Amino acid sequence: MGFEQLLQTIMDSDVNIRHSVITDADGNIITVNHRPGVINYLSEEETVASLKRAASAWKARKELSPKIGRGLYAVAAYEKITRITFPLGENNLIFLSMGSDAVRMDFHGGGQKQIIEHVLNILSGDPTKA
């Protein structure tokens, strides 16, 4: 599955996902998907800087993997959004942002735990889990 299709599959998995990005290991953007009507809180420059910082943090996590295991995801929660980062193979990362609303107004989407579970299942490549 190509990166664009992967992001679309992830976006389709839950209506609460606002924005998704795939980067290389250095945080350079490869592809982006936005939920229609969603407006970014950060400028393009701020988004790029944030992705580069998060990619650097993943490099540090990788250094610990021989002792504590491979990183599965990381969550950064803010007042307005929650960002979840997943490794994608050895050389890429997926960043998702979702609203930080404590109460979901829709009945078909999930909360943070469900979104993480959906994405991990999609990334596993096992169609019986997605």
pLDDT tens series, the chain, 130 aa: 799 999 999 998 888 899 999 999 999 999 999 999 988 899 999 999 999 999 999 999 889 999 999 999 999 988 889 999 999 998 999 999 988 665 445 555 556 677 777 787 888 876 555 4
Cα distances from 75 to residues 2, 85, 96, 126, in angstroms, run 25, 7, 10, 23
pLDDT reported for residue 114 = 74
pLDDT reported for residue 97 = 92
Which amino acid is present at 98? M
C-alpha neighbours within 13 Å on the C-beta side of residue 85: 23
pLDDT reported for residue 109 = 53
What are phi and psi for residue 34, nearest 5 degrees? Answer: -120, 140
pLDDT reported for residue 120 = 79
pLDDT reported for residue 119 = 81
Please tell me the pTM assigned to this model.
Answer: 0.82
SS3 sequence of 2-13 = CHHHHHHHHHHH
Q: Which residues contact 104 (CB under 8 A, 6 or more apart)?
A: 16, 110, 111
pLDDT reported for residue 121 = 81
